[in-house]
Structure 1
């Protein structure tokens, strides 16, 4: 793991791993341990708390970081940044009724993009957008309420997308400069991780252009 990867104000760091169970506990443990390493403090000085709505945050010295946690069957991810509220979501790539789901739930431009792809790629494309929408909802602290599924997120610059081996950039949501998101395929394309960032709290700062660094954690070190 890189030293202090999440302290730069222009970076969101995501750590992910595959696991054979107990995803929630392992995700929470990874979050606290990673925050302690980034801040270079003893593990005892950081602990996990939850807001009334269930959103996790760090207590103690960990208050210096904005965090988010996600887990799906067989995988988990955590996001950390010193910048602004962040959200993360992970989904296993699987077969879906993607054409029907896209037309029912997505913005028309997004639905047209999904349904315009070869049928075998539509499920992954739908999840590419879904993970970003989930992440935006987490960054806003409201989930997918208030039209979250119809909220447009950036489409990939190319498809199929890269595997996330290099540095990525969060792109502003169409018409919403203080919200930005991105998604990346991991685990050799078996999972997709979506990430979103709000503008700096209270300042209305633009969220786009922030770097996204995605690091895999070995399963043995994940929990």
Structure 2
């Protein structure tokens, strides 16, 4: 992608909010509103369409701007990038049969890592990886088909993430040019996973954090669109 005038090409913007329902409609409205604001054009000049598989994309003045949308009960997230194909996922933190689910679905190294954690931390750890896998599938344009759940993610360092976790995306072990990260938001009630792919996405040091590497900006907004 060549980027858009007025947008920082090295910054991926992720916006999230809680909702009172109808997350799909609210996500569409917020995506169009914020894309138009970032491009400095009237909202009427940007519209959203869907690929046959359901993946959203923008038309009009937003053509070429990569976007992704995720929603769960009571919350949603949107991601926008003027340079790289991007994916986002959002999950509410809840109790899961995390160890058994990890053994069934995740990469063996991830399942072993989750199984070695204290039981109270396993559900969050599973969601930490799950959201990234979903986001990577969206960035690649193929979802979790073809073994996406077993695709290895970078394990977080340190764990648990703490109040100020690293916000630079990290390169996937076995997928060149793809980086991802996960962050807790909303006082720890939700996990946002973000991924992007493309030349230069992992920076010169391959970790997404060196000079020239991508920056991910995550902000909470209201369902009306205000920060």
- 2:211 corresponds to which residue? none
Q: Return structure 1 stretches of 4+ with deviation > 4 angstroms.
A: none
- Structure 2 alignment gaps of length 5 or more: 209-213
SS in 1 for 2:102: helix
Q: Secondary structure in 2 aligned to 1:194?
A: strand
Cα shift at 1:116: 1.1
Distance 1:162 1:65, change over 3 A: farther
What TM-score do you get using the length of structure 2 for normalisation? 0.89
Counterpart for residue 176 of structure 2: 177
The root-mean-square deviation of aligned C-alpha atoms, in Å, is 1.8
CA contact (8 A) 2:14 2:80 kept: yes
CA drift of 1:175 comes to 2.9
Per mean C-alpha deviation after superposition, the further-off stretch among 166-175 and 108-117 is 166-175
CA distance in structure 1 between the partners assigned to 2:13 and 2:201 by the alignment:
18
Count of residues in correspondence between the two structures? 213
Give matches, 1:35-54, under 5 Å: 35-54=35-54
> Within 2, Cα distance between the matches of 1:167 and 1:60?
35
Unaligned runs of 5+ in 1: none
TM-score by length of 1: 0.90
Query: In the TM superposition, what whole-angstrom CA distance separates every residue of 1:199-219 from its partner, at most 9, and x where no partner exists?
Result: 14xxxx443411111000024
Structure 1 residue 177: Cα displacement: 2.6
| TM superposition shift of 1:115 | 1.1
Distance 1:20 1:44, change over 3 A: same
Give the deviation of 1:113 after TM superposition. Answer: 1.1
Equivalent residue number for residue 186 of structure 1: 185
Matched, 1:59 2:59: yes
Residue number in structure 1 paired with 2:194: 195
